[in-house]
Amino acid sequence: MEEKKKDQLERDIKIEGAESKVAKERHDSEKQETTSADSNKQEDNTHEDHKDGHDNNKEAGQTKDEEKDPLAEAQKEIEELKDRYLRTAAEFDNYKKRTLREKADLILNGGVKTVTAILPVLDDFERAIADKSEDPKVIKEGVQMIFNKFVKTLESLGVKKIDTKDQDFNTDYHEAVAMVPGMGDDKKGKVIDCVQTGYTMNDKVIRHAKVAVGQ
């Protein structure tokens, strides 16, 4: 009986040892899993921190670029405006010089066209003077032809005679040199006679017509 109790006791001890060993192994396994999970969690946190830091750096870089771009654009625009200003100034300077040359040329040679147009009339006068004819009628006809040619030449240059016949007196075109009384009410304020012909050039009065006006 004592040996059976002894054997039973040994078996119980072995069983308790085995259970204790299994429990210990289970505890160690759970501890290892917990440690591994903590480690993975820590790595994930580290990765997230690194990612957040990278994103923050990226955003900071973008912000820096955004702050830099407007300045670069402004400098570029300034350079373009400066170049445009210099070109415009150069063009204006050339225009001013060209205008001064044209004005000087006009002052020196502005009458060339007029003189050139009149020269044929001058030639007719020379031929008339060289003519030995003594017939008054022929001479008068020759002078009249030269006169008509001269009038047409002036008209081609924009010079026109101011019409005074039966015209109302107009200070824009006429200059009164005499007042003629007793001409009747229908002649009052009218041009009675033209003492000196007036002319316009391109519709601008270059000489007023001197006239006598009815009073």
CATH of the domain at 173: 2.30.22.10
The more confidently predicted of residues 183 and 33 is: 183
Strands 174-180, 209-214: pairing kind:
parallel
pLDDT of residue 112: 86
Mean pLDDT of the chain: 80
pLDDT mean over 70-98:
92
Q: For residues 157 and 161, what is the distance between their CA atoms, to the nearest angstrom?
A: 12
Q: Is residue 66 part of a domain?
A: no
Q: Which residues contact 150 (CB under 8 A, 6 or more apart)?
A: 118, 121
- Helix (H) or strand (E) holding 103, with range, is helix 2-109
- pLDDT computed for residue 187 by the predictor: 86
Average pLDDT over residues 120-134: 92
- First-to-final CA distance of the chain: 181
pLDDT value of residue 134: 87
Q: pLDDT above 90 covers what percent of the chain?
A: 49
- In this prediction, residue 111 has a pLDDT band, given cuts at 50, 70 and 90, of confident
**Amino acid in position 179:** M
**Is 186 a member of any domain?**
yes
Indicate whether 201 belongs to any domain.
Answer: yes
In a domain, 179, yes or no: yes
Confidence band for 152, pLDDT divided at 50, 70 and 90: very high
- Per the domain annotation, does 212 fall within a domain? yes
Output 67 or 185, whichever has higher pLDDT.
Answer: 185
How confident is the model at residue 43, as a pLDDT? 52
Q: Is residue 68 part of a domain?
A: no
Average pLDDT estimate for 168-175: 94
- Residue 32 is assigned to a structural domain of this protein: no
Residue 71 scores a pLDDT above 60: yes
Q: Confirm whether 130 is domain-assigned.
A: no
When pLDDT is averaged across residues 126-139 and rounded to a whole number, the result is 90
Is the predicted pLDDT of residue 122 greater than 80, yes or no? yes
pLDDT > 60? residue 52: no
Amino acid 127: pLDDT: 93
Of the candidates 145, 144, 198, the residue with the CA atom closest to the CA atom of residue 167: 198
Give me the domain span that covers residue 209. Answer: 161-215
How many separate domains does the chain show?
1
pLDDT at 161 over 60: yes
Q: Which pLDDT value is given to residue 53?
A: 53
pLDDT band at 185 (very low <50, low <70, confident <90, very high): confident
